[in-house]
């Protein structure tokens, strides 16, 4: 697929500086740009490549000031980072597989229902009562348990498992080997030291426009639903426990874990390996830095850091102290010696 600078600028409502007929056939990183590719600059640390890249077209913010003339055609937009995301969608849609129909062998219950233009890959298993919307893509080796519902245009990649009664909305993507609706980790301790399994009778509800990375697990609730709200984006290798609720448009990076019955607000950002213990409330627009461990409720609009997590500004002030603890310890020992010497002289 080739796109002209004129087409891209029109799609992004951008302004062209240079030849509007210039064509590109693929995106590229700015440091790897070559003729026929489209690049962008959003992070100032990559500005040095702007003046050496061989890319044909480059996206720049409208207010960016060039230090010298560059070779690529420039398309100026309000936000280059958002702009490249939109253009990548154009490229991806052009090359995406438009799979339809059913491959064999696959098992599809006669008690299930399918919308128009669905794709069911080989070795997929569709149980009774399953309902698929229009344009749903079920890749090979996917398992859908009894009474699962999948909304329009949703894609489940190879190896995804969706347990009985779970609901996935429209325009969602679930990447390979993720598990939706496995039992929550519920066990009651007994007097003899053993643990008795607590039946997990609920389900998982995933709303529209959610993307879930590979090998992520979302457990069904003990009662009611584990809920992933509209627009949530999850990375690979994430654990969401039973009865958790994730607010809309929250993004969660890899290896994060959220324990049972905790509630996360809207538009939060969780960096990699963050953790939230059970039965907490995390407010809206909260940011958790990498490896943060949340052990108490967090109000709206807080940035948290460390374990146990504290407000980032407080953590940084504390860090300035405890990183010098070895030296402070030595200073204290020196003072103790001097005090002991003074006391000894006074006793004499």
Q: How far is CA 347 from CA 78, 334, 338, 342, in A?
A: 77, 20, 14, 9
* Contact partners, residue 293, CB within 8 Å, separation at least 6: 274, 275, 277, 306, 307, 308, 309
Structure tokens of 243?
């009865």
Q: How far is CA 76 from CA 13, 15, 49, 268, in A?
A: 9, 5, 17, 30
- Catalytic site positions: 242
Q: How far is CA 111 from CA 117, 126, 130, 132, 149, in A?
A: 18, 10, 8, 12, 13
* Residue 242 buriedness (CB in 10 A; 0-12 / 13-18 / 19+): buried
> Residue 236 CA to chain centroid, in angstroms?
8
DSSP 8-state assignment for residue 298 = B
Contacts of 134-138 spanning 24+ positions with Cβ under 8 A:
137/99
Write down how long the chain is.
348
Cβ atoms 156, 142 nearer than 8 A = yes
Q: Report the C-alpha gap between 216 and 239 in whole angstroms.
A: 6
Neighbours of 9 (CB within 10 A): 22
Q: Report the C-alpha gap between 72 and 95 in whole angstroms.
A: 25
User: Of the candidates 255, 247, 284, which has an alpha carbon nearest to the alpha carbon of residue 271?
Assistant: 255
């Amino acid at each position: 697929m080739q796109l002209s600078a004129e087409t891209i600028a029109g799609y992004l409502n951008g302004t062209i500086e240079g030849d509007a007929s210039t064509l590109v056939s693929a995106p590229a990183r700015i440091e790897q740009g070559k003729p026929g590719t489209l690049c962008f600059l959003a992070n100032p640390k990559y500005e040095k490549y702007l003046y050496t890249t061989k890319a044909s077209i480059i996206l720049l913010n409208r207010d960016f000031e060039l230090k010298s003339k560059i070779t690529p055609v420039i398309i100026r937009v309000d936000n280059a980072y958002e702009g490249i995301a939109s253009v990548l969608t154009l490229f991806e849609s052009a090359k995406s597989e438009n799979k339809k129909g059913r491959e064999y062998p696959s098992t599809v219950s006669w008690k299930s229902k399918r919308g128009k233009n669905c794709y069911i890959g080989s070795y997929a298993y569709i149980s009774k009562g399953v309902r698929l919307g229009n344009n749903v893509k079920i890749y090979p080796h996917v398992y859908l348990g009894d009474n699962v519902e999948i909304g329009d245009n949703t894609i489940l990649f190879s190896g995804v498992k969706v347990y009985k009664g779970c609901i996935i909305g429209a325009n969602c993507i679930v990447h390979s080997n993720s598990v939706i609706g496995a039992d929550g980790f519920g066990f009651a301790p007994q007097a003899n030291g053993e643990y008795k399994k607590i039946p997990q009778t609920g389900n998982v509800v995933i709303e529209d426009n959610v993307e879930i990375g590979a090998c992520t697990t979302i457990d069904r609730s003990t009662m009611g639903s584990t809920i992933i709200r509209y627009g949530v984006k999850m990375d690979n290798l994430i654990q969401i426990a039973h009865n958790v609720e994730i607010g809309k448009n929250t993004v969660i990076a890899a290896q994060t874990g959220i324990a049972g019955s905790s509630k996360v607000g809207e538009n939060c950002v969780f960096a990699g390996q963050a953790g939230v213990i059970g039965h907490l409330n995390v407010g809206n627009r909260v940011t958790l830095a990498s490896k943060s461990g949340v052990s108490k409720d967090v109000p709206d609009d807080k940035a948290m850091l460390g374990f146990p997590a504290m407000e980032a500004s407080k953590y940084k002030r504390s860090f300035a102290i405890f990183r010098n603890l070895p030296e402070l310890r030595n200073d204290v020992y020196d003072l103790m010696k001097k005090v002991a010497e003074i006391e000894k002289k006074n006793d004499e």
